[in-house]
Structure 1
């Protein structure tokens, strides 16, 4: 089968298309013929090994010290089940599924084996494979942290980076749970964020969100480009600050814990189960959640896709077609 592999860390050009052995599902696994995958910030960091300093050692252990342990990247996918192991009961041949492959990567390939007990679910019936592939990481991350923050009806939530993958989902999921949502983004993306349901939008190129006299119950930092001190200034007493990108310095965390009742929820992976995907599937099918796709690329254009995402200006998600049709 065809796969995109890398044997050294570095720029997008380290990615090469090669023929590799097609996997065979174990007794509890399904074999998925991949129709679409994505290029995420996590893929960029793994390929180039540009990770936050606090993650350096764990990342080296996980990814490999001198060269990648796992040569095929790709952390989310959608496709069709071609075969199943003898102990599989949740799925059958022909099922259309979407899944996160964060634990083992490997979605940059024509086929991928997945445990039936992992983060895999039946694809929403009203969207394409490409759109479904863009849900498992960003939307699952947003849902996990919004649930952890225990957002209540009419609470005020600010999402910084509201036009990105996680941010665009955070706006919609917070609205679903009844929040009053303010989205922060650039001028070009104001209308998009409004269309996702944001009650207010702030153009960060023209306004400072922390000087508008507003305060918030939850601040959701999706891109790590806001000032922590500015966020603390407008976060209500007992409020929750969420940062899904990287941990804060220890001194900031300790000082916040010692001097205030404000809660900090920081970067970590959502649990590797199917429950969140099942929930997100229902939201999509009930038209409560939309997938924002910035660009589509073909499989042999994945280097260009990485170059684009690495610039840091993508809107929503970047999808890579692995099947026969670009937007299948």
Structure 2
């Protein structure tokens, strides 16, 4: 059992999303530093991802059908939690009296999830949230690359029950989710075909894809080949469009799908799998173990200084990032 040791300062810098809109709604403010409860861990943030989830909350550009649900979940006129940021890597600053397994000074990786709060100098993680020790071989920036895409990829591969020898098509293979899914599927022994732009073909092959389709040159829906699983990580297709490309008992993974894709009914033996990805501590540990073993490679597009977080948001909004975008703190 650890006693609670509070930092000497009671404030912190944090990026606040004052309302929904463009990057101009982000403001750097001084806020009270969170105080851990009995089962909480306070992390001094050294790197935090700027994910598509952060961009969607800020802009409310959500998949079709989720507009009203998004406002109800995040806030009607402005974000209920103004400090965005779902994933952090840093050092434990203080722990609650009931916390075991973590102590001040530990290097950790944590997932705040929909509670957010990662785009600040300090992030409070309740005991129910995923928090694991950072692999020694990863920098804090590299570690912050993995949770958002890795947890979603692992969740959907588990839901699809992807097995060795099966075939998988990954749409958006160069993104945060797609790049993790290619690697995790190859580790399971699946045959992976990646769909990406021509500029990302080399990356997809380096991550383990045995075949690559450049979507600027070829429409995979017109390809005569079929796959056991088709994973759309960017919302570029639909269950109906991919039906002819699915084998019997094939699964379509609507990772970034519309409400209609999430609710789509099975067509014969083929089915669509959607919904939010689980964020479980054991899954985060699995990702970190694979990263430590060299099986899962962080894909970092770029790291921005914390002061340039609006620029990181703007880049993510272009939809052209490769892997993850991270902000680094001194």
User: Could you state the TM-score of these two structures normalised by the residue count of structure 1?
Assistant: 0.94
Distance 1:106 1:114 in 2: 9
Corresponding residue to 1:291 among 275, 298, 303: 298
RMSD over aligned Cα atoms:
1.5
SS in 2 for 1:57: helix
The residue number in structure 2 matching 1:46 is: 57
The residue number in structure 1 matching 2:274 is: 266
Q: Render the CA deviation track for 1:55-108: whole Å, top value 9, x for unaligned.
A: 223221221112221110111110000111000012111111111111311000
The residue number in structure 2 matching 1:300 is: 307
Do the aligned partners of 1:3 and 1:108 also contact (CA within 8 Å) in 2? yes
Query: Equivalent residues in 2 for 1:79-90 (5 A)?
Result: 79-90=90-101
Do the aligned partners of 2:66 and 2:259 also contact (CA within 8 Å) in 1? no
Corresponding residue to 1:161 among 162, 172, 176: 172
Q: Deviation of residue 251 (structure 1)?
A: 11
Q: Deviation of residue 124 (structure 1)?
A: 1.4
Distance 1:121 1:58 in 2: 31
| Structure 1 pair 26–288 and aligned structure 2 pair: CA distance change class (3 A) | same
Q: Deviation of residue 54 (structure 1)?
A: 2.3
The residue number in structure 2 matching 1:125 is: 136
Do the aligned partners of 1:117 and 1:273 also contact (CA within 8 Å) in 2? no
Q: Deviation of residue 250 (structure 1)?
A: 7.0
Q: Deviation of residue 248 (structure 1)?
A: 4.7
User: Could you state the TM-score of these two structures normalised by the residue count of structure 2?
Assistant: 0.93
Q: Render the CA deviation track for 1:19-72: whole Å, top value 9, x for unaligned.
A: 111111100011100000111111011111222342223221221112221110
Distance 1:4 1:115 in 2: 20
Q: Deviation of residue 249 (structure 1)?
A: 2.1
* Correspondence 1:3 to 2:11: no
Gap runs ≥5 in structure 2: 1-11
Q: Deviation of residue 285 (structure 1)?
A: 0.7
The residue number in structure 2 matching 1:314 is: 321
Do the aligned partners of 2:239 and 2:252 also contact (CA within 8 Å) in 1? no
Distance 1:17 1:252 in 2: 39
Distance 1:244 1:207 in 2: 22
The residue number in structure 2 matching 1:231 is: 242
* Correspondence 1:205 to 2:216: yes
Q: Deviation of residue 252 (structure 1)?
A: 8.1
Corresponding residue to 2:42 among 31, 34, 46: 31
Gap runs ≥5 in structure 1: none
SS in 1 for 2:179: helix
Do the aligned partners of 1:159 and 1:222 also contact (CA within 8 Å) in 2? yes
SS in 1 for 2:66: helix
Corresponding residue to 2:190 among 157, 179, 195: 179
SS in 1 for 2:113: coil
| Structure 1 pair 264–221 and aligned structure 2 pair: CA distance change class (3 A) | same
The residue number in structure 1 matching 2:7 is: none
Q: Deviation of residue 17 (structure 1)?
A: 0.6
Q: How many residues align?
A: 319
Distance 1:93 1:116 in 2: 15
Do the aligned partners of 2:64 and 2:259 also contact (CA within 8 Å) in 1? no
Distance 1:135 1:40 in 2: 11
Distance 2:20 2:47 in 1: 24
Distance 2:62 2:234 in 1: 14
